[in-house]
Amino acid sequence: MPERKTQPRMLRPGATVGVLGGGQLGRMMALAGSAMGYRFVALDPAPDAPCGQVSPQIVAAYDDIDAARELARRADVITYEFENVDAGVAALLAEESYVPQGSALLYTTQHRLREKDAIETAGVPVAPYRKVASLADLAAAAVELGLPAVLKTVTGGYDGKGQAVIRREDELEEAFRRLAPEGAFPAGTAPGETASAAETASAQAPAGEDAPLVLEKFVPFQCEISVIAARSPGGEVRSFPPAENIHVNNILHLSIVPARVPEEIRQRACELAEQLIAGLNAVGLLAVEMFVTEDGELFVNELAPRPHNSGHYTMDACATSQFEQHVRAVCNLPLGRTDLLTPAVMVNVLGQHLEGSVGRFCEDDEEANRLGVIPKLHIYGKTESKTGRKMGHINLLCKDTADALAWVEQTNLWRN
């Protein structure tokens, strides 16, 4: 991948930040950066995208080379708000403009096998895994790793999509058929049939980087946590306090800060995140999702080289928000302090919660007053609300996270 261009000086307020992607992360980045005096321009194919409501927007497809070059002409520095940006476009921009994050990390994090290999290379623990290019590979990997295990596609997939938990041997073929790309089975092999040994061998590809699937050993975890780390071009690294994350239907529901794990585990999680962002030579933010086992071990699950949903609590609860920190990093400013100013719980507002959340925010909240909880509402400006779609979030500032969790429970807004 092309090397990123170097920038010999910091970009002072007044410079323009170009953002690949115009969703809610770009919007909140632009709002944070604008408060510091930076200008923004976003590239997104959707007219009236959330970021385009608060900054100029180039309406074009992400792989539109002319539009990408226009973004490069208008911006002093370019970043991205989600990792599924076309890596080729990011590489082109890295040649023609200043892209401090480069394209190499995108190339890595867009592919689960490359990502896991990179985590291991950095010396950070990850759940044991095996590459899977055929049903025979899957059967062998299941024997080696043991069941239960999780089969995942190496590209795509989010909020639980593109994966299947396999608990018994008789579930292997069904999971493989559901996730494997077309052509992974010998022609004419119907569901429930077994191909001959010769047919199976001819259908197998080497289980290298081109393998379409990965099988991960199931980690019996006590909880999931995440750490948002930041790194400047000069190598300064800071991390935010770990958040404990609770998912419902594979979508993040709550982030609790401080995470309800021993202090030594929180400290170790920050150390691993900082080790990883330095080892990857990343610039900007890196969200590191981890499993915490019953005996206190930590295993990295996934990475995201951008602001992250589990870091939204920083907008109201920390000395510096994750969005300001990202702008600071890509503009080569000194990183801000990451102190937690108050305990907090972040709760996502999905489409089915939007009307009730906004309605409650517009009234005097006696329950919040009684519990000593301060709700801070953030709405993303999406033009269409759907069940399961992230429309906003609420940061609940509190003295004790138990009070904030009680508020969430007693509102009855998040029961569906």
Q: How far is CA 12 from CA 39, 51, 202, in A?
A: 11, 21, 59
Task: Please tell me whether the peptide bond between 148 and the residue prior to it is cis, using omega within 30 degrees of 0.
Answer: yes
- Mean of pLDDT over the chain: 91
Consult the annotation and say whether 161 binds a ligand: yes
pLDDT in the model for residue 338? 99
More confident residue, 264 or 205: 264
pLDDT(42) > 50: yes
pLDDT(189) > 60: no
DSSP state for residue 82 in the 8-state scheme = S
Q: Which of 89-93, 147-151, 310-314 has the lowest mean pLDDT?
A: 89-93
Consult the annotation and say whether 23 binds a ligand: no
The arithmetic mean of pLDDT across residues 90-98, rounded, is: 87
pLDDT(188) > 50: no
Consult the annotation and say whether 9 binds a ligand: no
Consult the annotation and say whether 163 binds a ligand: yes
Mapping DSSP to helix (H, G, I), strand (E, B) and coil, where does residue 45 land?
coil
- The answer to whether the CB of 152 falls within 8 A of the CB of 216 is yes
Name the token pair of 2. 């092309």
pLDDT in the model for residue 91? 83
pLDDT in the model for residue 115? 96
The arithmetic mean of pLDDT across residues 350-374, rounded, is: 95
User: Which residues make Cβ contacts (< 8 Å) with residue 242, sequence separation at least 6?
Assistant: 225, 226, 227, 257, 258, 259, 261, 266, 269, 270
The arithmetic mean of pLDDT across residues 127-135, rounded, is: 95
| Residue written as token pair 């999905």 | 350
Chain centroid to CA 383: how far? 23
Consult the annotation and say whether 224 binds a ligand: yes
Mapping DSSP to helix (H, G, I), strand (E, B) and coil, where does residue 412 land?
coil
DSSP state for residue 308 in the 8-state scheme = -
Mapping DSSP to helix (H, G, I), strand (E, B) and coil, where does residue 315 land?
helix
Mapping DSSP to helix (H, G, I), strand (E, B) and coil, where does residue 166 land?
strand
| Residue written as token pair 């393998």 | 211
pLDDT in the model for residue 159? 62
- The string of pLDDT tens digits covering residues 371-389 is 999 999 999 999 999 999 9
Consult the annotation and say whether 361 binds a ligand: no
pLDDT(198) > 70: no
pLDDT(200) > 90: no
Consult the annotation and say whether 390 binds a ligand: no
pLDDT(222) > 80: yes
pLDDT in the model for residue 187? 41
More confident residue, 413 or 202: 413
pLDDT in the model for residue 227? 99
Q: Which of 1-5, 57-61, 211-215, 270-274 has the lowest mean pLDDT?
A: 1-5
How far apart, in whole angstroms, are the C-alpha atoms of residue 243 and residue 344?
9
pLDDT(37) > 80: yes
How far apart, in whole angstroms, are the C-alpha atoms of residue 272 and residue 94?
28
Tell me the HSE value of 153 on the side-chain side, using a 13 A CA sphere.
16
- What are the two backbone dihedrals, phi and then psi, of residue 329, each rounded to the nearest 5 degrees? -65, -50
pLDDT(7) > 60: no
How far apart, in whole angstroms, are the C-alpha atoms of residue 62 and residue 348?
27
pLDDT in the model for residue 32? 99
Consult the annotation and say whether 248 binds a ligand: no
pLDDT in the model for residue 5? 52
pLDDT above 90: percentage of residues in the chain: 82
Consult the annotation and say whether 152 binds a ligand: yes
Consult the annotation and say whether 38 binds a ligand: no
The arithmetic mean of pLDDT across residues 96-118, rounded, is: 92
The arithmetic mean of pLDDT across residues 43-69, rounded, is: 96
pLDDT in the model for residue 102? 87
Query: How many other CB atoms sit within 10 Å of the CB of residue 261?
Result: 18
The arithmetic mean of pLDDT across residues 59-77, rounded, is: 95
With cut-offs at 50, 70 and 90, classify the pLDDT of residue 160.
Answer: low
Consult the annotation and say whether 216 binds a ligand: yes
Consult the annotation and say whether 89 binds a ligand: no
How far apart, in whole angstroms, are the C-alpha atoms of residue 329 and residue 309?
19
pLDDT in the model for residue 183? 60
Chain centroid to CA 365: how far? 32
More confident residue, 53 or 194: 53
Q: All domains of the chain, ordered by start, with CATH?
A: 16-109 (3.40.50.20), 129-217 (3.30.1490.20), 221-411 (3.30.470.20)
The arithmetic mean of pLDDT across residues 119-142, rounded, is: 96
pLDDT(279) > 70: yes
pLDDT in the model for residue 191? 40
Consult the annotation and say whether 171 binds a ligand: no
pLDDT(168) > 50: yes
The arithmetic mean of pLDDT across residues 343-347, rounded, is: 99
Mapping DSSP to helix (H, G, I), strand (E, B) and coil, where does residue 138 land?
helix
Which range, 35-44, 87-96, 181-190, is most confident? 35-44
DSSP state for residue 128 in the 8-state scheme = -
Q: Which of 101-110, 257-266, 405-414 has the lowest mean pLDDT?
A: 101-110
The arithmetic mean of pLDDT across residues 91-118, rounded, is: 91
Consult the annotation and say whether 159 binds a ligand: yes
